[in-house]
Structure 1
Amino acid sequence: MLNTLLPILLFAALGLAVLGAGKRFAMWRRGRPSKVDWLGGLMAMPRRYLVDLHHVVERDKYMSKTHVATAGGFVLAAILAIVVHGFGLQNRILGFALLGACVLMFVGALFVAKRRRNPPARLSKGPWMRLPKSLLMFSFSFFIATLPVAGILPEGFGGWILAAVLAVGVAWGVSEMFFGMTWGGPMKHAFAGALHLAFHRRPERFRSPHNASAARSSGLKALDLNDPNAPLGVEKPKDFTWNQLLGFDACVQCGRCEAACPAFAAGQPLNPKKLIQDMVVGLAGGSDKGYFGSPYPGIPVGEHGGNPHQPIVFAEGKGLVEAETLWSCTTCRACVEECPMMIEHVDAIVDMRRHLTLEKGATPNKGAEVLDNLIATDNPGGFAPGGRLNWAADLNLPLMSEKKQAEVLFWVGDGAFDMRNQRTLRAFVKVLKAAEVDFAVLGLEERDSGDVARRLGDEATFQQLAKRNIATLAQYRFQTIVTCDPHSFHVLKNEYGELGGRYEVLHHSTYIATLIARDKLDLGKHQSASVTYHDPCYLGRYNGEYEAPRAVLKAIGIEVKEMARSGFRSRCCGGGGGAPITDIPGKQRIPDMRMADIKETGAEVVAVGCPQCTAMLEGVVAPRPEIKDIAELVAEVLIESTNTPAKKRAVAKHEEVAEVHP
């Protein structure tokens, strides 16, 4: 009896799964076209799953081992079950192999069940709570049904009663594993996730046989502003590219993004997991009543809904998300860094902001004023452009317009208009001169890099600023651009290239580390009793630079007291993505939370490498540790030496003058 029922159940489930897969694929294809390497992506999928995705999963050792056992056991068990019970190839060796796969899957399912007994708040519940039961039923049923195949039990053991019970168990298991994978059950992420890895929007994030290390792809994609048919951002779910929709559908609702999000922790109305699930609702149509995870802080579940052809942002009683949800994001990429499915949350948020800004003119609070300032004065503060070099009036900085070429182009950034950041700029100039670096600045020719405009969704202003800067830079010859601002660093390095500006760009901490390694600086030891280092998001998560700042601090005798959240898990200061401009309220301020992290170390000084971080952390009310940029700390321990060639020339000239005029 079982030999008759099992093939029917298996092939019925497979048939329904194929229909479900077609339905799911048709839903994804409602999105805009996107070029993908169909064959190459499918061929690369196993490596991307086993290497790149597992590298992220591995950060949680418990789930890593659980995932290997459960997913690996299921894939092997499913294939062998189809071969042994579906096609009737009841070979004893295949039987034992299927038994082993079922045991492996069963053990993994036990760990899933243990985690689900008292799940962390970040995990979604609802249908996900039945997943361990389905996994256990699938593996247990096929294990018992395969014992006769392996010769452990006689054929027909238990009679029709056991056969009927096993048939029910198999039906439950295969319906969840195959049918639910493509029709929207908890296992949907397995099917969508595999194809998401194959047709990812950023394939450069993955390793390949020709490139052992994955590239860090974090630059936003440019809009084609010359195409009258191209949407200016995303208004409706169907305005996303089809592989973006596929990526949303791959979400496993694990909540790692939720746990990492600074806006969610601060009580602002953003939860990246809920946002992605809202996009899935918009893809399929319906409401968010079926969501069983943490809501947006202050916004109840069940009051929003939509469909692929309806605007996403809530207005006139309809919509998937509130505008404040999109403007709460600091674009820190903590969600992207933690996502085991490698979903691009920040891209989606900025795409939706672009529509609000470019089509609706709905940038909140001071957003519109800042964008107007950028257009009128080339800087977000609206300062007179002629004052861009006032901070260096006594430094006699070399200008590119006069030199025409230099080894280093020092990109000053809009910190030039901020009195606090001017101390950082002056300190870095002191370091450059001490190392006798051949450098120059653009001076009044420099304009805002466009970072704030782009994060606020004003792609038109960003591209205008970028193209003008690119045209200016094209007039001169230089080897490297160096800047103290990670936001300018990121934009110049990763986002100007698409518009024709390709440069070697370094953050000042990286460049100082290079100068120290080349023995270009004569440094003493810093006397600070205890120092911690705050990793800027746009230097660390966006560009992978964690070691150079620490190497510089070590070189001047500072032993960094690391925060619990440092490196790739560093908490955002709250200053990115235009967040201080849009200023969406929450229960607490993000910089206050970061200062609490800092105080836990007992450090007296916070070393920073970003003007935004400096401003946000210094905005925390005292008492608090002192905030100092890395350039300031290095400048403080520079030893005035007469041994450098420049100093020797200066001394010789002084002595020559003294002989002529005794």
Structure 2
Amino acid sequence: MADYLSQIIFWLGITLITLGVIGAMRRIRLWRQGQSSTVHWKGLLQIPKRYLVDLHHVVARDKYISNTHVATAGGFVLTSVLVIIVYLFGIKGAVLNWLMLFSSALMLVGAVFVFKRRINPPANLSKGKWSRLPYSLLIYSTTFLLLALPATGLLPDYTGSYLMIALLSVGVFWGFSEMYFGITWGGPMKHAFAGALHLGLHRRQERFGGGRSTGLKALDLDKDSLGVEKPEDFKWNQLLSFDACVECGRCEKACPAFAAGQPLNPKKLIQDMVVGMAGGDTAKFAGSPYPGVTGTYKGGAIIPIVDTLVPANTIWSCTTCRACVEECPMMIEHVDAIVDMRRHQTLEKGNTPGKSAELLENLKTTDNPNGYAPDSRMDWAADQNLKVFGEDTQQADVLLWMGDAAFDLRNQRTLRATVALLRAASVDFAVIGNQECDVGDAARRLGDEATFQRLTKDNIATLSKYQFKHIVTTDPHVFHSLKNEYPDFGGHYSVYHHTQFLAELVQQSKLKLNSTSLGDVTYHDPCYLGRYNGEFDAPRYLLESMGISVKEMERSQRRSRCCGGGGGAPITDIPGEQRIPDMRIADAKEINAGTVAVACPQCNAMFEGVVAPRPDIKDVAELMLDATVFEEAH
């Protein structure tokens, strides 16, 4: 009778694994609908390490699910390998029996915790097919645990009765169907197959091994089609990445637009891309919808996405803060997908919401987003006696990049403070004055890659005329563009955010700071300095050097809540239930902060737009200026 059961397992295994392979070929064909992209074959060899280190580095932020995943996934992989060895290849042995007992028991423990998590799941977890996964995991692990117990001699052999054969056969069929068949045919275990390949063939290989890759990919403007109109316009490895989604909803919890009630849910967006790739409609999605959006949408590989599969306002709600990307345990690049779709809408169709068209036209005609006369960029510095490259000098140690703050009365105070601090430290610096153009950050995030590339090339041509060691800027968006995106066009520079450079000056004792008493101070991490570039310490070091004990908000550092000012969001102005900056200031009020220290002109503008009463908003450089010890002239 035991042999009879073994035959059942053998034939069920062969059948469902064969169907799983067929399903795998089908999924691969779906991915291959996408556009060509570099194949990183070496990455396949790195899958185990990337799974155990890079992926679990993110998963581990939730200790409960991290430990659960280790037990469940580890037990599943080992059990499946042993099933193939013992039942499909017919290799027997006491060691294999004990290993099967251990692996299935380990998986069972993990499955119990998955089941417990699903009894009253948080709102960010999708339901539907995911609700059956705990049962499938329990059945698969329990079935092979029951087979292993008598095989090891721990219990008498009870597998010979017709009842046990029937029960175990049902368990094998259910478990194999979910784990071997469903893994490539759209079941909840689909992420195990697509996710593993995604880790190996990821479009941004630099993200692994502790690396960082946050600059947008350059668009070839000579192509006939610009951006993504249809699912087949994505790169093939982007389509693969969409299939890797586990619908955990971490991106949903982190998304500021979703929290504000704007029509964006990053998790649903990725699942809609899967629908578009495979064809069908969105009716079976069992997670949170886009806020304020109802109804079923349809899609297909050659069917336009915007307003057919996804509402237009969805892609324009994104602030490009990368909170979704930072939290994704499968390392999916949501922002890349959104900007790719924006590029088509902007470059091919001219469909941009709010005042986007006006901003982009201003950039084309005046090289700044607000349409100010280009020769007025230096007006703020009329009393500053700044050295200007090309007029006063051809070289300096530091090039101070002014950015759009030069046109904004509030942020000119930050620039003035920075100038004063550089002078106090005897730094040799100069500006390029009216030769400076906008770096193109807003244009690129709004999808106007052509304007971004034109501004980039113009700025690089200007910078090539002069000699300097470093560029310092008070704007994280400028910092990110110059540091991470200009190199694609030949612009390689040593770029500092002003807090980084000032921190070095303090460390070198070139700036001396007095202790100051401001009451409770919190620091808001700008997305483009923190998540995008990993700089969390320099601003805090400067505040602590002034005797300020930073009181952290609940969401800080890599998990900081966006101010709402990135990605052109203030310009697209998609309505929601509340404003993102209001939510962030509420975070500060929760800890009774009297001052919010910032390090970004956009954060400054967004927070100062919050209705009083609210904390004071001060750039770190402004706080430093008040605390700086100035040496008396002799």
Q: TM-score, normalised by structure 2?
A: 0.98
Q: Which runs of 5+ in 1 are unaligned?
A: 208-213, 652-662
Instruction: Give the distance between the partners of 1:278 and 1:433, measured in 2 at CA.
Output: 54
Q: CA deviation at 1:206?
A: 0.3
Query: Could you tell me how far 1:154 is from its partner in structure 2?
Result: 4.9
User: Match of 2:223?
Assistant: 228
Listed one character per residue, the Cα deviations across residues 623-661 of structure 1 (whole Å, up to 9, x for unaligned) are 11110000100011122213xxxx3xxx2xxxxxxxxxx
**Residue 27 of structure 2 corresponds to which residue in structure 1?**
24
What does the per-residue CA deviation read over 1:283-336, in whole Å, with 9 as the maximum and x for residues that have no partner?
100000010000000112x4201100000001xxxx110110000000000000
- 1:370 match: 359
Alignment root-mean-square deviation, CA: 0.9
1:570-585 matches, within 5 Å, as: 570-585=560-575
Tell me the equivalent position of 1:656: none
1:228 Cα deviation from its structure 2 partner = 3.3
Aligned partner of residue 400 in structure 1, secondary structure: coil
Aligned to 1:185: 187
Q: Tell me, what secondary structure is at the counterpart of 2:24? A: helix
Which blocks of at least 5 consecutive residues in structure 2 are unaligned? none
Q: Does 1:75 align with 2:88?
A: no
Question: What CA distance in whole angstroms lies between the structure 2 residues aligned with 1:386 and 1:403?
Answer: 19
Q: 614, 625, 629: which one pairs with 1:635?
A: 625
Q: How does 1:426-445 map to 2 (within 5 A)?
A: 426-445=416-435
Q: Say if 1:522 and 1:641, in contact at 8 Å, map to a contact too.
A: no
Q: Match for 1:164 among 160, 166, 174? A: 166
- Matching residue of 2:98: 96
The one-character-per-residue Cα deviations of 1:352-391 (angstroms, maximum 9, x if unpaired) are 0000000000111100000000011110000111110111
Deviation, 1:403, is: 1.2
Q: Which residue of 2 aligns with 1:452?
A: 442
Kept in 2: contact 1:236–1:308 (CA 8 A)? yes
* Cα distance in structure 2, aligned partners of 1:151 and 1:564: 53
SS in structure 2 opposite 1:407?
strand
The aligned counterpart of 2:251 is 257
2:467 corresponding residue in structure 1: 477
**Are 1:303 and 2:296 counterparts?**
yes
How many Å apart are 1:150 and its aligned residue? 1.9
Shift of 1:153: 4.2
Match status 1:123 vs 2:125: yes
CA contact (8 A) 1:91 1:150 kept: no
Shift of 1:164: 1.6
- 2:530 is aligned, of 520, 532, 540, to 540
2:486 to 496, 517, 529: 496
- C-alpha separation between the residues in 2 aligned to 1:4 and 1:369? 71
Q: Does 1:6 align with 2:2?
A: no
Match of 1:660 in 2: none
- Provide the residue aligned with 1:132 in structure 2: 134
- Is the partner of 1:627 in helix, strand or coil? strand
Aligned counterpart, 2:337: 348
- 8 Å CA contact 1:91–1:149 kept in 2: the answer is no
**Cα distance per residue 1:64-92 (max 9 Å; x no partner):** 00000000000000000111122221211
Name the SS of the counterpart of 1:512 in structure 2. helix
CA contact (8 A) 2:226 2:343 kept: yes
Q: Deviations over 1:35-62 (max 9, x none)?
A: 1222x11101111111000000000000
What SS does the aligned partner of 2:617 have?
strand
Partner Cα separation in structure 1 for residue 425 and residue 156 of structure 2? 84
For residues 450-505 of structure 1, the C-alpha deviation after alignment (integer angstroms, 9 at most, x for no partner) is 00000000000000000000000011111110000000000000000001101110
Give, as a single letter, the amino acid of the residue that structure 1 aligns with 2:24. A
Distance 1:398 1:31 in 2: 51
2:451 matches 1:461 = yes
TM-score, normalised to structure 1's length?
0.94
Asked if structure 2 preserves the Cα contact closer than 8 Å seen for 1:357 and 1:457, the reply is yes
Whether 1:336 and 2:325 are equivalent positions in the alignment is yes
Q: Provide the C-alpha distance between the structure 1 equivalents of 2:48 and 2:129, rounded to a whole number of angstroms.
A: 28
Q: Please tell me whether residue 620 in structure 1 is matched to residue 610 in structure 2.
A: yes
Shift of residue 147 of structure 1? 2.8
Deviation at 1:160, TM superposition (A): 2.1
1:609-632 deviations in whole A, cap 9, x for unaligned?
Answer: 000000000000011111000010
Letter in 2 for 1:633: L
- Kindly report which structure 2 residues correspond to 1:384-463, keeping only aligned pairs within 5 A, or say none: 384-401=373-390, 402-463=392-453
User: Aligned equivalents of 1:113 and 1:365: distance in 2?
Assistant: 46
Match of 1:601 in 2: 591
Q: Which residue of 1 aligns with 2:242?
A: 248
2:146 matched to 1:150? no
For residues 215 and 550 of structure 1, what CA distance do their matches in structure 2 show? 23
Q: Which moved more, 1:491-500 or 1:155-164?
A: 155-164
Look up the equivalent residue of 2:457 and give its one-letter code.
Answer: K
Cα distance between partner residues in 1 of 2:223 and 2:191:
36
Deviation track 1:538-596 (CA, whole Å, cap 9, x = no partner) reads: 00000000000000000111111110111111000000000000000000000000010
Distance in structure 2 (CA, Å) of the matches to 1:582 and 1:595: 22
Other structure's SS at 1:311 match: coil
The equivalent of 2:262 in structure 1 is 268
Summarize the Cα distance change of 1:377–1:106 in structure 2 as closer, same or farther, 3 Å threshold: same
| CA apart distance, 1:422 | 0.4
3-state SS, counterpart of residue 290 of structure 1? coil
Quote the residue 1:312 is aligned against: 305
Residue identity matched to 1:251 = C
- 1:322 match: 311
Residue type of the partner of 1:9? L
User: Which secondary structure does the structure 2 equivalent of 1:147 belong to?
Assistant: helix
Q: CA deviation at 1:410?
A: 0.3
Residue 213 of structure 2 is aligned to residue 217 of structure 1: yes
Residue identity matched to 2:31: W
Q: Letter of the 1:189 partner, please give it.
A: H
Aligned partner letter, 2:19: L
- 1:157 offset after TM fit, Å? 3.7
User: Secondary structure of 1:479's partner?
Assistant: strand
- Aligned equivalents of 2:388 and 2:379: distance in 1? 14
Which secondary structure state, in structure 1, belongs to the residue aligned with residue 472 of structure 2?
Answer: strand
CA distance in 2, matches of 1:380, 1:555: 36
Q: Distance in 1 between matches of 2:7 and 2:162?
A: 12
Q: What does residue 659 of structure 1 align with?
A: none
- Identity among equivalent positions (%) equals 64
* 2:548 maps to which of 534, 558, 582: 558
1:161 Cα shift?
2.0
C-alpha distance in 1 between matches for 2:226 and 2:551: 46
* Paired residue secondary structure (1:278): helix
Which residue is equivalent to 1:654?
A: none
